[in-house]
Amino acid sequence: MTGVWALTVSAADADATARAVAAREMQEWLARGGDGVTLVTCHRAELYGVGPIPRHESVRALSGEPAVAHLLGVACGLESVIVGEDEVLHQVREALSRAGARRERDPRLHRLFETAIAAGRKARSRRTESSGNLAQSAVAWLGKKADLADQTVVVAGAGRMGAALAHALANSGAELVIASRDPDRAVRLARVYAGRGVDLGAGAELTGNAAGVAVALGGPWFELARAKTDALPPIADISAPHAVPDAVRRRLNGSFLGIDDLYRRDASLPGAYIEDAKRLVALKSAEYMAWLGQAR
């Protein structure tokens, strides 16, 4: 039996557009009958499989224990912008679930992802507090650019990340306008925070009078480029690729935060968590490889 492999590209290697191209190529490989599991997040596009490694341009190929350790490190949040953040573990679970929905999962891949999920849970169980998430980091950046308390902030997106942005902004005291391609969904989310829900066109028009804008959309926000606004507030866009059009970003003169801008590590990393998680990754990787050897 052939060992496992991983193809991976992250924000450290390529921009959001290039990662989106890689993710599409990986999905096309699966559609052609390839047997694997894709893991696509804000900062990475990855494909895990067994057998012959498919050829993909501009991605890093890992095989054997390095591939195993990489996935475990991802699940533990060691590869995340915010070390130890929780969202990536949910994404690893979803990747395994989606693969199972498509076809019967290869037992080696199933065991690999289950091992990664267990390692991610165990690593987080040892920490004393959350190390934050992308939404909190984006809102913290907006808070440095403008006073958000009792001011209107437009949130574009009503999905999981949009809801996370809304929650973080509400905690900062902002008054929320939630904009979405689905106005009803925007209204439902806005009600949670006594805010206002609108469609993306109306949300774009309201940005000119807002203290800030936070974006988490699954596609371009074309309405923002067409909005009749003389000036725009700071915009934090954690979509991948960027939802804010290029023409708008050029107008912001340093008042734009993109998803790749958050891919920076600072001196405040939780060192104890990192060391514990690295030891756990090494241990669980060795255990998986021993199991794989017995399964051959």
Mean pLDDT of 13-30: 91
Q: Tell me, what amino acid is at 110? A: H
**pLDDT per residue as tens digits for the range 168-187:** 999 999 999 999 999 999 99
Angle between helices 65-75 and 271-295 (to 10 degrees): 140
| Domains of the chain with bracketed CATH | 4-130+271-295 (3.30.460.30), 134-262 (3.40.50.720)
* Plot region of 157 (φ>0 → left; ψ -120 to 50 → alpha; else → beta): left
Helix (H) or strand (E) holding 213: strand 212-215
Where is pLDDT greater, at 237 or 230? 237
**pLDDT per residue as tens digits for the range 61-83:** 999 999 999 999 999 999 887 77
Q: Are 61 and 243 in contact (CB under 8 A)?
A: no
Q: What is the pLDDT of residue 103?
A: 67
In eight-state DSSP terms, residue 259 is G
What's the rounded Cα separation, in Å, for the pair 87 and 81? Answer: 11
The two tokens of residue 235 are 């915009």
The listed range with the strongest mean pLDDT (133-137, 139-143, 272-276) is 139-143
Q: What is the pLDDT of residue 264?
A: 56
Q: Tell me, what amino acid is at 17? A: T
Angle between helices 107-125 and 87-102 (to 10 degrees): 160
Question: 52 burial class (0-12, 13-18, 19+ CB within 10 angstroms)?
Answer: exposed
Angle between helices 134-145 and 160-171 (to 10 degrees): 50
- pLDDT > 50? residue 129: no
Query: What average pLDDT does the structure give for the chain?
Result: 89
Confidence of residue 231 (pLDDT cuts 50, 70, 90): confident
DSSP string over 148-184: -TTSEEEEE--SHHHHHHHHHHHHTTPEEEEEESSHH
Q: What is the pLDDT of residue 28?
A: 93
